[in-house]
Amino acid sequence: MLLPCKTFGVRLSWEGFEAMKEMNRDFGGELRRRRSEKGISLICFSRMVSYSKSHLSKVETGKTRASRKFAEICDERLEAKGGLVALVSVGNSIATTRGTAEGFVGLPAPVSHFVGRSEELACISQYLANESTGALCVLSGMAGAGKTALALRGAWNAAASFPDGCFFFDFGEEAPGATPGVLESLLGFLDVPKDQLPPRPDALANLWRSRIGGKRLLIVLDNVRSATDVTPLLSTEPGCKIIVTSRKRLGALDDATRLHVGILSNAEADALFRAVGGDRAAHAEGDSVRAVVELCGYLPLAVRIIAARFRSGPMRTMAELEEMLAHEAGRLDLLDDGDRSVTAALTVSCNELTTERRRLLALLALHPGVSAHLSSVAAMADIDLHRAAVLMDGLADVHLVAYESSDRIMMHGLVRQFARQVLLSDVAVVDQRNTVRRLIEHGLHFAVAADRLLTPQRYRPPVILDEFPEMPNPFGDRAAGVAWLESEWPCLVALCRIAAARGLYSLCWQLAFALREFFYLAKLWGPWVETHLAAVESAKAAGTRAWQAIGLGNLGVAHSDRGDLTLAVGYFRQALSLYQDLQDEHGIVNTISNLAWAEFYLGEYGKSIDGFRTALDHYRRLGNRRNVAITLRGIALMEAELKRCPAALRHAQKARQEFHALGLELDVVMSVNCMAWAHFQSGDHQAAKDAYEEALGLAEDCGSRYEKARALTGLGNIHQVSGAREAAVELWARADALYGGLEPVMLGEARVRLAS
């Protein structure tokens, strides 16, 4: 039997094709007369009867004979009450030696409101038009991406180029091994009698290949599960083309033209929602539509379902629709209209997963990041890196995850929600808790390793990882550690929150501490403050006053660094009180030094110099070279403000030399910028220009956008005071592009620019 053909909504039987007869020469003229009387164009009628315009034209002009089946379809569509069928002769059966399916178009009607995909359609068109591109094109992508709609649109666009027939077979609801049935149906179109079909599948494929010589046929195979479903249909006949849609990559089809069908762009999803959603959607505000399609993950199936709901459902406004979609727990329920369902589509993708892959997909729902490093996946599943890669390849093969890079995977938001709601319930709660803990400990281990490369001389309290084994530093150098932090910090911030919420207090405050230096480098004050507020609350809950003091001190540094000096002083004083109660000399002196910096920025130079001197004596006594150099740089900045420029230059130069000896690149840049500022304050603009230009190059090398913007601002100031306003504005614009909004309270360069 033939597989379901969606165009007619019935099963076209073998007997239906055996009943095809030759028609009389009067048939074509009568067909044209009846069609014209009803005012139906040739193009519209071709869609009504699912035969190409070219074939219809040849029938009407008598150049091609019509079959009884064709006559029956035309008779029904034109309400001829048997008049057209009567014109078909009842002569001998169609010859079986070399029959034809000429003109037959069995493609389902293309979906309405098809938007976008211009590049993909161009690729399909090129494949179908070029005989040298091979016999097969595979469209693969995640469930609901619109593969079938794209395949049909591409097939319909080229249907006229395949006069010997266009066919559509849906493997989605068929049992495995349906290909012999497809071959039998196709051979039926080619008028091979059923009793002449060989029983062996390979012989059936041989017969198929022998019968299609010189023909131009197009076959669309939808929802294919395996390469073995396709290979029997492949031939070397250049005019026979096959388009396959599958949720799998079907890598075994080596010679296929491949086309990945991804999610829609923002603009395409917007257009699809408006087209399907009716008048209200068409006139909806852009921001509202963008928010809704973003919550749908730009997935065509989801956008179509929610747009149809908006068109005919109870939601009166876009705001209501957005509010309902924003609730993650009920989002998948909204994306189910009874006939179409995102959950059902994803369930099909998961049905063939192994138990191990299914469990891993469920565990990935516990990862808070948009993407995950492969090492994090391995830690979550408690497996080695190689096994994690093998399992992820399997999930990527069915488009449940995608590779962002060779060692990072990402999961679509709706797949994540599906995994959380449908799959995670199969994982025991204790296993879920252990998975999250392993992920946090893994993140902490990597963050500490990266932080040690970032600032090797920084004082660090011991980090305790209760269940994580000792491992070597995973990063080859400082640059690798910084790159990892740049990609992972949003996830690490989320893990910090999760640790606090789950009562993993020590992991929370240790993770916050490990991120502090990176946040200082990147000037990410918001997440810096967020993580350390969580750290302080965790330390309070655990009754650990030492870590509470550390967290308060780091909160003070964050607020001081971004210019919130009153808040900074408040946190420093809380930290100082705790350190004094704990009789922690190191903590006391560090906090006095931090207070001195805040007092300097507030213009309280007398208090500030006392604090700097106290800290400097202590650091020298302990041999803490890094902190000595930091304090000298603070003294130099204050001396430059007081126009004690020779002393400022001496202290800044000493700080630079010490930082260089310690290999602290960022601190070297900061010291060179300090020297440039002292030169500017002294009026030696050429020396200032040279120093700023040096700082610019050093900042580029160490990756500090902030210090680079500071140097550019200083160079702009020099051009401004020399009368080169246009050059100054250009340099300031470059600084703003790198780091908009340098704080005048914190930087003399920003104050000079502001006064200009």
Q: β-strands 257-260, 166-170: how paired?
A: unpaired
Q: What per-residue confidence (pLDDT) applies to 48? A: 87
Q: What per-residue confidence (pLDDT) applies to 470? A: 63
Residue 436, pLDDT > 70, answer yes
Q: Do domains 344-427 and 626-755 have the same CATH topology?
A: no
Please tell me the distance from the alpha carbon of residue 277 to that of residue 100, in angstroms, as a whole number. 43
User: What average pLDDT does range 136-158 have in this prediction?
Assistant: 95
CA 530 vs CA 388, 437, 488, 497: distances in Å: 32, 20, 16, 9
The pLDDT confidence band at residue 42, using thresholds 50, 70 and 90, is: confident
Q: β-strands 240-246, 217-222: how paired?
A: parallel
Crossing angle of helices 179-189 and 201-211, in 10° steps, is 30
The region that residue 62 occupies, defined by phi over 0 for left and psi between -120 and 50 for alpha, beta otherwise, is: left
Average pLDDT value over all residues in the chain: 89
Do residues 730 and 689 make contact, with C-beta atoms less than 8 angstroms apart?
no
Indicate the helix (H) or strand (E) that contains 436.
helix 429-454
CA 547 vs CA 317, 459, 463, 538, 568: distances in Å: 50, 14, 12, 9, 18
The pLDDT confidence band at residue 619, using thresholds 50, 70 and 90, is: very high
Residue 23, pLDDT > 60, answer no
Do residues 147 and 261 make contact, with C-beta atoms less than 8 angstroms apart?
yes
Q: 397-429: per-residue pLDDT in tens?
A: 999 999 999 999 999 999 999 999 999 999 999
118-260 architecture in CATH?
3-Layer(aba) Sandwich (3.40)
Instruction: For residue 402, give the 3-state DSSP assignment.
Output: strand
- State how far Cα 353 lies from the chain centre: 22
Domain chopping of the chain, boundaries: 21-86, 118-260, 266-340, 344-427, 626-755
Q: Scanning the structure block, which residue is given the tokens 């089946």? A: 69
Cβ within 8 Å of residue 282, ≥6 positions away: 274, 275
Please tell me the distance from the alpha carbon of residue 490 to that of residue 373, in angstroms, as a whole number. 13
Please tell me the distance from the alpha carbon of residue 393 to that of residue 387, in angstroms, as a whole number. 10
Of the candidates 732, 706, 705, 704, the one whose C-alpha atom is nearest the C-alpha of residue 718 is 732
Q: What per-residue confidence (pLDDT) applies to 463? A: 59
Please tell me the distance from the alpha carbon of residue 126 to that of residue 123, in angstroms, as a whole number. 5
Do residues 554 and 512 make contact, with C-beta atoms less than 8 angstroms apart?
yes
Q: What per-residue confidence (pLDDT) applies to 617? A: 95
Q: SS3 string of 439-477?
A: HHHHHHHHHHHHHHHHCCCCCCCCCCCCCCCCCCCCCCC
Residue 740, pLDDT > 90, answer no
Do residues 241 and 233 make contact, with C-beta atoms less than 8 angstroms apart?
no
β partners of residue 467: none
Do residues 224 and 150 make contact, with C-beta atoms less than 8 angstroms apart?
no
Please tell me the distance from the alpha carbon of residue 221 to that of residue 250, in angstroms, as a whole number. 13
Number of H helices and E strands in the chain, helices first, is: 36, 8
Q: What per-residue confidence (pLDDT) applies to 9? A: 28
Instruction: For residue 336, give the 3-state DSSP assignment.
Output: strand
Backbone angles phi, psi at 136, to 5 degrees: -140, 135
The pLDDT confidence band at residue 88, using thresholds 50, 70 and 90, is: low
Q: What per-residue confidence (pLDDT) applies to 10? A: 28
Q: What per-residue confidence (pLDDT) applies to 270? A: 95
Q: 306-346: per-residue pLDDT in tens?
A: 999 999 877 778 999 999 999 988 999 999 988 899 999 99
Please tell me the distance from the alpha carbon of residue 656 to that of residue 723, in angstroms, as a whole number. 31
β partners of residue 136: 242
Residue 399 identity (one-letter amino acid): H
Q: What per-residue confidence (pLDDT) applies to 460? A: 75
- Alpha-helical (H) ranges within 455-584 are 478-501, 505-522, 525-542, 545-561, 565-582
**96 or 199, which is more confident?**
199
**Cα torsion 31, 35, 37, 43: sign:** negative
User: What average pLDDT does range 537-546 have in this prediction?
Assistant: 96
- CATH number for domain 344-427, candidates 3.30.830.10, 1.10.10.10, 1.25.40.80, 3.20.20.150: 1.10.10.10
Residue 68, pLDDT > 80, answer no
**Structure tokens, 479:** 């640059």
Q: Scanning the structure block, which residue is given the tokens 């040849």? A: 58
Do residues 219 and 242 make contact, with C-beta atoms less than 8 angstroms apart?
yes
Percentage, residues of the chain above pLDDT 70? 93
Cβ within 8 Å of residue 469, ≥6 positions away: none
Q: What per-residue confidence (pLDDT) applies to 612? A: 96
Backbone angles phi, psi at 289, to 5 degrees: -65, -45
Residue 629, pLDDT > 80, answer yes
**Structure tokens, 246:** 């599958």
**Structure tokens, 320:** 């209501």
DSSP 723: T
Please tell me the distance from the alpha carbon of residue 700 to that of residue 707, in angstroms, as a whole number. 9
Of the candidates 284, 261, 262, 258, the one whose C-alpha atom is nearest the C-alpha of residue 273 is 284
Among 81-85, 559-563, 569-573, the range with the most confident prediction by mean pLDDT is: 569-573
Cα dihedral: 562, 567, 572, 575 (round 10): -120
Weakest mean pLDDT among 46-50, 102-106, 703-707: 102-106
C-alpha triplet 701, 461, 542: angle, nearest 5°: 125
Residue 25, pLDDT > 60, answer no
Residue 65, pLDDT > 80, answer no
Do residues 489 and 524 make contact, with C-beta atoms less than 8 angstroms apart?
yes
Please tell me the distance from the alpha carbon of residue 171 to that of residue 173, in angstroms, as a whole number. 6
626-755 architecture in CATH?
Alpha Horseshoe (1.25)
Q: What per-residue confidence (pLDDT) applies to 469? A: 56
Q: What per-residue confidence (pLDDT) applies to 81? A: 85
**CATH 3.10.129.10 for the 21-86 domain, yes or no:** no
**CB atoms near residue 93 (< 10 Å):** 13
DSSP 284: S
Percentage, residues of the chain above pLDDT 90? 72
User: What average pLDDT does range 187-191 have in this prediction?
Assistant: 88
Q: β-strands 371-373, 402-405: how paired?
A: unpaired
Do residues 414 and 332 make contact, with C-beta atoms less than 8 angstroms apart?
yes
pTM: 0.77
User: What average pLDDT does range 722-730 have in this prediction?
Assistant: 95
Q: 355-399: per-residue pLDDT in tens?
A: 999 999 999 999 999 899 999 999 999 999 999 999 999 999 999
The pLDDT confidence band at residue 51, using thresholds 50, 70 and 90, is: confident
Please tell me the distance from the alpha carbon of residue 193 to that of residue 201, in angstroms, as a whole number. 16
Q: 217-269: per-residue pLDDT in tens?
A: 999 999 999 999 999 999 999 999 999 999 999 999 999 999 999 999 999 99
Backbone angles phi, psi at 5, to 5 degrees: -105, 110
Q: SS3 string of 643-663?
A: CCHHHHHHHHHHHHHHHHHHC
- State how far Cα 111 lies from the chain centre: 26
Q: What per-residue confidence (pLDDT) applies to 112? A: 83
CA 260 vs CA 14, 17, 414: distances in Å: 36, 36, 19
Q: Give 60-90 as a DSSP string.
A: HTTSS---HHHHHHHHHHTT-TTHHHHTB--
Cα dihedral: 334, 340, 341, 346 (round 10): -160
Q: What per-residue confidence (pLDDT) applies to 464? A: 57
Residue 91 identity (one-letter amino acid): G
